[in-house]
Structure 1
Amino acid sequence: MAINVNDLNSNQIDVLKEIGNIGAGNAITALSKMVSKRINMDVPKVNIVEFKDVADLAGGPETLVAGIYFNVNGDISGSIMFLIDTKSSRTLINWLMGKNETRMELDEIELSALKEVGNILAGSYLSSISTLTGLKLTVSVPSLAIDMAGAIMSVPVILYGQVGDHVLLIETDFIEGMNHVKGNFFLIPDDKSFEILLKCLGVM
């Protein structure tokens, strides 16, 4: 029987939030090393949301975003999506490449760099899940798209068929001086994998 996310108790929610805290901590360490700057962050917000609402959380289905996508295999299956708006994409590239550009369009080198940043950040979150659960997880090579949020969130369905109804959302705000990068990390497991995840965390 598929898990009813609405029935999760406070202990289960707290454990899922701990995944977000550890993953964000790992991500900020990796990002600071990459850009050679001291990056801070607000306390990440961790929620379980319905898949159909993800595009709205990214600013609406027609909002232009950068989406970095991975397929997850191993002891659980599903997808990972790292979404950032175009302004945050530019800020992130400026940090990484020592630029002060204001144009929103990214050239090929910048797109490649953004994909690599997304790869490292997503890897940080996935590593925290693996460490806390003992699950063996592998990810595909990342794919990057800049498109409307609604179009990007259709990718898991198009490529892999029906996904689970629910998504683990970790919303993190990275801060360097007056500049902010808001990143939304989505773990999109199938329903069976959500059960496996909670069982391995000892809360089901």
Structure 2
Amino acid sequence: MKRSEIESLAKDIFHEIGNIGGGSAVTALSRLISEEITGRPPVVMPLECSKLPDAFGEPDKSAMGILLPFYGDVSGMLLFVLTEPFVKELLLKTIGCPAGFHEMDEYKFSVIQEIANIMASSYFTAISAYTEKQIHISQPAVSIDMLGAMVTDPASWIMGLGEDTVCIESGFYLKEDNSMNHLGLMLYQESSYQFLEAVGVVL
């Protein structure tokens, strides 16, 4: 198989991984808050720090980031990027107390962390079933920062360990609030290869 054919096939496989994982995560959130969540098809891209932030929104705007390192048969980082209106709605629907970024406290952060844990568990359970890879997630870290910084920092770390790194980005939003939120699976180079080999692609 030609290199170009392998790259095309690899993109299709990563796209399917994003569909399966992202769909499961969005479904889990929808069930948790008893509201319709609309997801859009994933975008597969190389980890390029100069271009990546634009895929997650406006780099110079504040956002909430939840970063979950994962490990096991494959490893990397799962990054949630949430808008302020979306966070307010999540807190309203889960604890009845909407809060903007400047009103967050330890309890509200813990609620968002737990929501991220539930979504991440659904994401990885689904793709583990698809690839037969065992995946474990670490405790999420939550921060509020400029979007550009929260995306490029983990991407830079992963890129430093290999050139063939991949990001699978999925978007989702509440029916009554169309501000786009993002979920990005950032894969280490070796893990990208392992996912492909798991579904029969010989590199």
**Same fold by TM-score, threshold 0.5 exceeded?**
yes
Per the alignment, residue 8 of structure 1 pairs with: 7
Cα displacement (A) at 1:196 = 0.9
Provide TM-score, normalisation by structure 1. Answer: 0.81
The alpha-carbon distance between structure 1 residues 51 and 33, as it changes in their structure 2 partners (threshold 3 A), is same
Secondary structure in structure 2 of the residue aligned to 1:124: helix
Q: 1:89-127 CA distances to partner (integer Å, 9 max, x unpaired)?
A: 22222222234x474432322211111111211222222
C-alpha spacing 1:153/1:24, structure 2 compared with 1 (3 Å): closer
1:150 is displaced (CA, Å) by: 2.8
Percent of residue pairs identical: 27
Distance change (3 Å), C-alpha of 1:171 and 1:196:
same
Report the Cα offset of residue 155 of structure 1: 4.1
Deviating above 4 A after TM superposition, structure 1's stretches of 4 or more consecutive aligned residues are 4-7, 157-161
Tell me the SS of whatever aligns to 1:129: helix
SS at match of 1:114: helix
Would the alpha carbon gap of residues 54 and 109 (structure 1) be closer, same or farther in structure 2, given more than 3 Å must change? same
* Distance change in 2, residues 1:121/1:64 (3 Å): same
Partner of 1:75: 73
2:85 alignment counterpart: 87
CA RMSD of the aligned region, Å? 2.7
Look up the match of 2:154: 156
How far did residue 45 of structure 1 move?
2.6
SS at match of 1:8: helix
Preserved contact between residue 91 and residue 99 of structure 2 (Cα < 8 Å): no
Where does residue 119 of structure 1 map in the other structure?
A: 117
User: Which secondary structure does the structure 1 equivalent of 2:77 belong to?
Assistant: strand
Per-residue CA shift, 1:7-35, capped at 9, x if unaligned? 611x4333322222222332233212321
Number of aligned residues: 197
Partner SS state of residue 31, structure 2: helix
Partner of 2:144: 146
Q: Secondary structure in 2 aligned to 1:171?
A: strand
Q: Secondary structure at the match of 2:40?
A: coil
Provide the C-alpha distance between the structure 2 equivalents of 1:146 and 1:58, rounded to a whole number of angstroms.
15
Which one-letter code corresponds to 1:82 in the other structure? F
Q: Distance in 1 between matches of 2:30 and 2:105?
A: 23
> Please, which of 37, 41, 44 is the counterpart of residue 41 of structure 2?
44
Please give the TM-score of this superposition, normalised by the length of structure 2. Answer: 0.81
